[in-house]
Chain A
Amino acid sequence: MAQRAVAIAPRWPGAAAAALVLVLTIGTLAAVGWRAQWQRGLSPADWAAIQFTVMQAMVSAGLSVLLAIPVARALARRRFRGRSALITLMGAPFLLPVVVAVIGLLAVFGRAGVVNSGLAWLGLPAITIFGFHGVVLAHVFFNLPLAIRLILQGWLSIPAERFRLAASLNAPVGRLLEWPMLRAVVPGVFLVIFLICLTSFAVALTLGGGPRATTVELAIYQALRFDFDLGRAALLACVQFGLCAVAAVVVWRLTSLDAMGAGLDRVVQRWDLRWPALDYLMIALVAIFLFTPLAMVIWRGVPGLMGLPTSIWLAAGRSVTVAVFSALLCICMALALALRGGRVVAVVGVLPLAASGLVVGTGAFLLVYQFINPARLALPITVLVNATLALPFALRAIGQAVDGIDRDFGRLGASLGLSRWGWVRIVVLPRIRRPLGFGAGLAAALSMGDLGVITLFAGEAEQTLPLAMYRLMGAYRMEAAAGAALLLLALSFAAFWICDRGGRGNADL
């Protein structure tokens, strides 16, 4: 039988990686499904949590998209110094640990924050950041940049010739070109952000809480950690999975978005550029909204950095270890799956997108707690779960590169008689350094800042930096928390930068 060019890579590592992903997603789901106390049904508090979860996600996604449209339009139309730097920086919130952003938002909108100081000076009543609007504020802070980048991509995908044609016809660009583009792009962006907001545990943990602002994930955490009510935790985990699954299927069916978006540097020449001040105002407002909290993290963090307790440094060490292992595991899995290719792998690669860290964590907890003290497994399980949750992003980058190599060089490799490992060693690895570095950096940064599954497992002795930071905030030790936030911010971005840089160095492809 004639060989296909793609069959020259080894196959078992891909199967092993797929099995691990399936155990962590479907396996943990089976565990919560089995332990859930179905007969007891959902209490009014549970219904309130469901309602709050869906509501805040809708409002967050809606606001993010509504605000993003004029900003993306301004960025698509205008050319100015720092434009590409601004767009690059808008990719940063993806790597930004949630607790760090929350510290920044508290510094601006919190009780002793900049905004309230201003209001007090004007003699106006203070605002509070906790509760529904705080959760929404944090979600908009995180997802507005994503929405802007995705919608900007839509704008830039309109061919320049169409604008020229519209200009020569003196036709309304908005109705002819922009409105159809928005109608195609915006629903997808809304759904992606809706899904992200459904599963963002750390925001609800830090800014929500109480009977009126509890998400399903927060309720899971409380049932497991405070009440040790495993049946209820499992039941809520099933509910959370149901919410995510429905949303994920809708996203999957309706969208084909590329969040990493290349080519955002382009500026299309246009002939309908009245009102420049309005465009620049929008851009300036968004830049202020996005970068003031970050600046505050640095400003308030520096004094606290000096006097950080030893426990924080130990936690930072644990976080770095977790990030390193989880990045390694993530890119190994992504590479193995990419080399194997095919339909099953494509499905396995997106499964974690629908998985919520808390559901996976609850399942893992139920699987292990009878045999071993869960705290002892806190770090290994955090590594596994974080590597799996980052897998879709790494696989996307690496998979495309591996497919390209197969297409361009598969026949050459096969006709030379390269062995399976030889193909990987001599051809694939040197050629995918860039996406490999990018994927590793992403996984490391996401894992460094993760405040999800670790909260279910860790005691004092296993806490990672984000968890230690959260506990400092809970104890109102804000100066130490601010110092820890700066440290965590630096570590997350350094992790990404080092890996990404390593992939770029000396790569002449």
Chain B
Amino acid sequence: MLICDKLVLQQDDFRLTADVTFGAGKITALIGPSGAGKSTLLAALSGFLEPAAGRVLWQDTDLTALAPGARPISAVFQDNNLFPHLNIAQNAGLGLRPSLRLTADERAAVERALSSVGLEGLGSRKPAALSGGQQSRAALARVLLADRPVVLLDEPFAALGPAMKDDMLDLVRATLGAGGRSVLMVTHDPDDARRIADEASLVADGIVTAPVTVSAFFDRPSEALAAYLG
């Protein structure tokens, strides 16, 4: 379980509190209006923002003092998920070995991961030679290779067209979800949540509410959610 223990995040006059538990092995959608603090929450979980108070725990381990790279967490950001000067295999390989000194076995593992996201044989290309959807797939391959139990997705598919976005969501479900990873996905589109998430949580008015099943979330919307959905 990923636990936000009385977590308080503060940036200038913006304040967000989270006292919630995200279930292990579940895909949880974080829904809410823009500026509500969804990305801020992910930044704190991945270690880029020091909480004003409270703790972040994974199972029984306190993560609050750990550096971003030392946490059992992989992140996919809104943009800049690939280094433009490295080819796709190198970018994915960073997940396996940040020094990029890969053994033959590890190189084979990279190749397998690329095939599993549909990028077979494209390892030697630079990101610029790939479509937006393919770039998202490469970032996903890196997350698979890093093999960390928690994955944070900060609207990484927002720039894709509807059909391609749905493909990516299904791929996330098939790879990360089936692999038993705990996924937190920021979105402002209810359809995204319905498509792949097990649970959903509302981020609004400075509070992160406890996740509930997606059907319960949308069938019996809270007042704040109803206001957001309109």
Q: How far is the CB of A313 from chain B (nearest CB, A)?
A: 41
Find chain B residues with CB under 8 A from A416 CB.
Answer: 69, 94-95, 98, 146
Q: How far is the CA of A507 from the CA of B84 in the complex (A)?
A: 10
B47–A3 touching, CB < 8 Å = yes
Q: Which of B47, B65, B126, B146 has the most C-beta atoms of chain A within 10 angstroms of its own C-beta?
A: B47
B68 and A411 contact, CB distance less than 8 A: yes
Contact A430 B85 (CB under 8 A): yes
User: With an 8 A cutoff between CB atoms, is A370 at the interface?
Assistant: no
Can you name the residue of chain A whose Cβ is closest to the Cβ of B80? A408
Residues of B within 8 A of A2 (CB): 44, 47-51, 64, 68
- Contact indicator A409/B83 (Cβ below 8 Å): yes
Cross-chain contact B80 with A415 (CB below 8 angstroms): no
Chain A contacts with B in 385-441, Cβ cutoff 8 A: 408-409, 411-412, 414-419, 422, 426-427, 430-431
A418 touching B98 by the CB < 8 A rule? yes
B80 touches A412 (CB 8 A): yes
Q: How far is the CA of A416 from the CA of B83 in the complex (A)?
A: 12
Binary contact track B82-124/A, C-beta < 8 Å → 1, others 0: 0111100000001100111000000000000000000000000
Residue A177 at the chain B interface, CB threshold 8 Å: no
* B77 interface contact, C-beta 8 A: yes
B163 close to chain A: CB less than 8 A: no
Interface string of B67-87 (1 = CB under 8 A from A): 111100111010011011110
The CA-CA distance from A430 to B64 in the complex, in Å, is 33
Query: Given A3-B68, A409-B80, A414-B69, do A422 and B98 touch, yes or no (CB 8 Å)?
Result: yes
Residue total for A at the interface (Cβ-Cβ under 8 A): 23
* Pair B69/A411 contact, Cβ less than 8 Å: no
Q: Which residues of A contact B85 (CB under 8 A)?
A: 430-431, 507-509
Q: Is B67 within 8 A of A414, CB to CB?
A: yes
CB-based contact A417/B80 at 8 Å: no
A509 with B48, Cβ < 8 A, contacts A411-B68, A416-B95, A417-B69 known: no
| B46 contacts chain A at the CB level, 8 A cutoff | yes
Q: Does B69 contact A5, Cβ atoms closer than 8 Å?
A: no
- In the complex, the answer to whether A417 meets B99 with C-beta atoms within 8 Å is no
Q: A3-B68, A426-B100 are in contact. Are A415 and B84 (CB under 8 A)?
A: no
| B68 contact from A415, A430, A431, A507, Cβ within 8 A | A415
Complex contact A419–B75 (CB within 8 A): no
| Total number of residue pairs linking A and B with CB closer than 8 Å | 79
Contact B68 A414 (CB under 8 A): yes
The answer to whether B47 and A427 have CB atoms under 8 Å apart is no
Chain B window 47-61, contacts with chain A (Cβ cutoff 8 Å), 1 for yes, 0 for no: 111110000000000
Q: Does B178 count as interface, using CB distance less than 8 angstroms?
A: no
Smallest CB separation, B155 vs chain A (Å): 14
Chain B residues with CB below 8 A from A249, complex form: none
CB of B128 within 8 A of chain A?
yes
Task: Give, as a whole number of angstroms, the nearest-CB distance from B98 to chain A.
Answer: 5
| Minimum CB–CB distance for A104 against chain B, Å | 42
Interface mask (A148-188 → B, CB under 8 Å = 1, otherwise 0): 00000000000000000000000000000000000000000
Chain B residues, CB < 8 A from A417: 67-70, 98
* B119 CB, min distance to chain A CBs, angstroms: 19
Q: Is the CB of B95 within 8 A of A412?
A: no
B226 shortest CB reach to chain A, Å: 34
Closest residue of chain A to B73 (Cβ to Cβ) is A415
A497 to B68 Cα, complex, angstroms: 41
Contact A412 B81 (CB under 8 A): yes
A508 to B129, CA, bound (A): 11
A508, B49: Cα distance in complex, Å: 32
Q: Which residues of B contact A509 (CB under 8 A)?
A: 84-85
Q: Determine the distance from Cα of A3 to Cα of B67 in the docked complex, in whole angstroms.
A: 6
Asked if B81 and A3 make an inter-chain contact with CB atoms under 8 angstroms apart, the answer reads: no
Please state if B98 and A419 are interface contacts (CB–CB under 8 Å): yes
Output the least CB separation between B85 and chain A (Å).
5
Closest chain A residue to B49, Cβ basis: A2
Contact status B48-A5, CB under 8 Å: yes
Provide the bound-state CA to CA distance between A467 and B206, in Å: 70
Chain B residues contacting A5 (CB-CB under 8 Å) are 48, 68
A273 close to chain B: CB less than 8 A: no
Q: Which residues of A contact B94 (CB under 8 A)?
A: 416, 418, 426
Nearest CB in chain B: distance from A444 CB, A: 25
Q: Give residues of chain A (194-212) contacting chain B, Cβ–Cβ below 8 Å.
A: none
Can you list, as one digit per residue, whether each of A1-45 has a CB less than 8 Å from chain B (1) or not (0)? 111110000000000000000000000000000000000000000
B79: nearest residue on chain A (CB-CB)?
A: A408
Minimum distance in angstroms from B181 CB to a CB of chain A:
15
Q: Is the CB of B46 within 8 A of A415?
A: yes
A140 to chain B, nearest CB (A): 43
CA distance A430 to B50 in the complex (A): 31
B159 CB to nearest chain A CB (Å) = 16
Q: Which of B117-174 contact A (CB under 8 A)?
A: 126, 128, 146
Q: Which residues of A contact B46 (CB under 8 A)?
A: 411, 415
Give A135 to B73 CA distance when docked, in angstroms: 66
- B-contact 0/1 string along A95-113, CB 8 Å cutoff: 0000000000000000000
User: A132 CA to B75 CA in the complex, in Å?
Assistant: 66
Name A430's closest neighbour in chain B (CB-CB).
Answer: B85
A129→B83 CA distance, assembly (Å)? 57
The CA of A5 and the CA of B47, in the complex, are separated in Å by 10
Which of chain A's residues have a CB closer than 8 A to the CB of B81?
412
How long is the Cα–Cα vector from A419 to B98 in the complex, in angstroms? 7
What is the CB-to-nearest-CB distance from A425 to chain B, in angstroms, rounded to a whole number? 8
Shortest beta-carbon distance from B67 to chain A in Å: 5
Among the listed B67, B70, B99, B128, which residue makes an inter-chain contact with A508, where contact means beta carbons less than 8 Å apart?
B128
In the complex, what residue of chain A is closest to B101 when comparing beta carbons?
A: A422
- Decide yes or no: A422 and B99 within 8 Å by CB, A408-B80, A409-B80, A508-B128 being known contacts: yes
A3-B81 Cα distance, complex, nearest whole Å: 19
A359 to nearest B CB, angstroms? 42
CA distance A508 to B87 in the complex (A): 11
Please give me the 3 A-B residue pairs with the lowest Cβ-Cβ distance, nearest first. A417-B69, A2-B50, A414-B68
Q: A409-B80, A508-B85 are in contact. List 5 more A-B contacts (CB 8 A).
A: A2-B51, A411-B80, A412-B77, A416-B94, A418-B98
Can you sample 9 A-B contacts with CB below 8 Å?
A2-B49, A2-B50, A2-B64, A411-B46, A411-B80, A412-B83, A427-B83, A508-B126, A509-B85
Residues of B whose CB lies within 8 Å of any CB of A are: 44, 46-51, 64-65, 67-70, 73-75, 77, 80-81, 83-86, 94-95, 98-100, 126, 128, 146
